[in-house]
Amino acid sequence: MSEQNNEGHSGRDRVVLAYSGGLDTSVAIGWIGERTGAEVIAVAVDVGQGGEDLEVIRQRALDCGAVEAYVADAREEFANEYCMPALKANAMYMDAYPLVSAISRPVIVKHLVKAARQFGATTVAHGCTGKGNDQVRFEVGITSLAPDLKCLAPVRDLALTRDVAIDYANEHNLPIATTKNNPFSIDQNVWGRAIETGFLEDIWNEPTKDVYSYTDDPTYPPLPDEATITFDQGVPVAIDGERVTPLQAIEEMNRRAGAQGVGRIDIVEDRLVGIKSREVYEAPGAMALIAAHQELENVTVEREQARFKKTVGQRWTELVYDGQWFSPLKGSLDVFIDDTQRYVSGDIRLVLHGGRATVTGRRSEQSLYDFNLATYDTGDAFDQSHSRGFIEIYGLTSKLAAAREAAADGTAAGGTAAGGAE
């Protein structure tokens, strides 16, 4: 992390800007300064999006007019504190989307607020539009951590459209490539990659090959790849017997599952702001790890606890999608989910092939699966004579209700017949 002190502060208001190093946020540095009179501090946070070195991005921010630049390598932090809770929750918005962008915003928010405190800023700015979810995630997150800070969105609040940004960059000779040809809006991190806009906005159009980067075409896959993932209390700790950190586990499964085309997602998504949006995602590591984690839970989590956890996990997912990472309810649900992971330890064998991650083996010292109870062969320890009485008691309330319905129907039929005889 690059840290600067606050010496030499000019006394002008300061704005902390979430800085990606790309065209829009590079232009936003000067744009904000011209329209607000404030100094701009650029904040770049690496959550595994790849691309340029942080120091290159830091220097570009300074060259574009930032008075300070704060950069942070948050990859391990993101994997440990944001991806792993999502994995424990089996977080899949609309049963399909593993919260690729949604879980990255809170860690960026955390560093934006830290930088605002460090450099004496009164406002935090982000590059989101007024149509998306991210504006909510950034601003609700910021005000949840620092209620005194103000929020600014140059694209939404200061009319910084892409055409304006390109013209501004050219006029001011900013050190950033400008083009009107890239049809997609892309957000990526170690947990996955999100692609939208361009021809994808016509929901009949099929994604073309150039949409994808994290995954290879599953139509012609290489030979099947077998992986054994070891979990300890819901967290992957080894792959094929080799110890890994959460970040290493995600990166390794991104590589191996991505090579098999695992984790391509194409959905029409219900955005928080009330519109439907076509979204294409790639999340090979996330989808493979979630598949393994869910199956290990099937082996190790008690039935009623598992049923209720599905409800909790869905609510957790909705809260995070809706920008409520720092909310009291989400914090309470975290406690429940962590408690369910107490016995989620063991090994899951996955076969990765042709776009699928298929579980083929499970083993755990904490398993609730009892072979002697489950088997139909000699040695069966399940006393089947108990089942008759269990069924009688289990069905008693429905039986009584059915008898009442039958009696009521008979009374009604009798009354009609009697009336017709008069």
**Would 143 be classed as within a structural domain?**
yes
Q: CA 237, CA 248: separation in Å to the nearest integer?
A: 9
Q: What is the DSSP letter of 2?
A: B
pLDDT in tens, 297-327: 999 999 999 999 999 999 999 999 999 999 9
Are the CB atoms for 174 and 61 separated by under 8 Å? no
Residue 7: band (very low, low, confident or very high) from pLDDT cuts 50, 70, 90: very low
105 is catalytic: yes
Residue 3: band (very low, low, confident or very high) from pLDDT cuts 50, 70, 90: very low
Residue 183: band (very low, low, confident or very high) from pLDDT cuts 50, 70, 90: low
Which is the catalytic residue, given 46, 134, 216, 322? 134
Mean of all residue pLDDT scores within the chain: 92
**Would 386 be classed as within a structural domain?**
no
Give me the number of domains the chain comprises: 2
Q: Are residues 168 and 291 in the same domain?
A: no
Q: Are residues 28 and 176 in the same domain?
A: yes
Q: Are residues 44 and 190 in the same domain?
A: no
What CATH number should be reported for the domain holding residue 170?
3.40.50.620
User: Residue 129 carries which side chain, given as an amino acid letter?
Assistant: T
Are the CB atoms for 82 and 130 separated by under 8 Å? no
**Percent of the chain whose predicted confidence (pLDDT) is above 90:** 76
Which is the catalytic residue, given 105, 193, 256, 278? 105
Residue 1: band (very low, low, confident or very high) from pLDDT cuts 50, 70, 90: very low
Q: Are residues 238 and 219 in the same domain?
A: yes
**Would 398 be classed as within a structural domain?**
no
Within 10 Å of residue 5's Cβ, how many Cβ atoms? 9
The structure tokens listed for 333 are 């649900």
Which is the catalytic residue, given 144, 185, 327, 367? 185
Q: Are residues 194 and 152 in the same domain?
A: no
**Would 339 be classed as within a structural domain?**
no
**Would 387 be classed as within a structural domain?**
no
Has residue 421 got a pLDDT over 70? no
Which helix (DSSP H) or strand (DSSP E) does residue 270 occupy? Answer: strand 264-270
What CATH number should be reported for the domain holding residue 241?
3.90.1260.10
Of 155, 181, 207, the one marking the end of a domain is: 181
> Which residues contact residue 294 at a Cβ distance below 8 angstroms, ignoring those fewer than 6 apart?
90
The structure tokens listed for 135 are 């504006």
Q: What angle do CA 291, 255, 193 make, to 5 degrees?
A: 75
Q: Are residues 170 and 192 in the same domain?
A: no
Q: Are residues 128 and 240 in the same domain?
A: no
Within 10 Å of residue 195's Cβ, how many Cβ atoms? 23
Three-state secondary structure call for residue 31: helix
24 is catalytic: yes
**Percent of the chain whose predicted confidence (pLDDT) is above 70:** 94
Q: CA 302, CA 295: separation in Å to the nearest integer?
A: 13
* Known binding residues for ATP: 18-26, 127
* Known binding residues: 18-26, 97, 127, 129, 133-134, 137, 185, 269, 281
Q: Are residues 113 and 247 in the same domain?
A: no
Three-state secondary structure call for residue 355: coil
The structure tokens listed for 295 are 């199956």
Sign of CA dihedral 233, 236, 239, 243: negative
Residue 4: band (very low, low, confident or very high) from pLDDT cuts 50, 70, 90: very low
Q: Are residues 238 and 356 in the same domain?
A: yes
**Would 252 be classed as within a structural domain?**
yes
- Domain containing 52 equals 14-181
Q: Are residues 199 and 154 in the same domain?
A: no
The structure tokens listed for 357 are 């991650």
134 is catalytic: yes
163 is catalytic: no
* Known binding residues for L-citrulline: 97, 133, 137, 185, 269, 281
Region class of 173: left (phi > 0), else alpha (psi between -120 and 50), else beta? left
Q: Are residues 156 and 27 in the same domain?
A: yes
Are the CB atoms for 288 and 357 separated by under 8 Å? yes
**Would 408 be classed as within a structural domain?**
no
Which is the catalytic residue, given 24, 46, 216, 322? 24
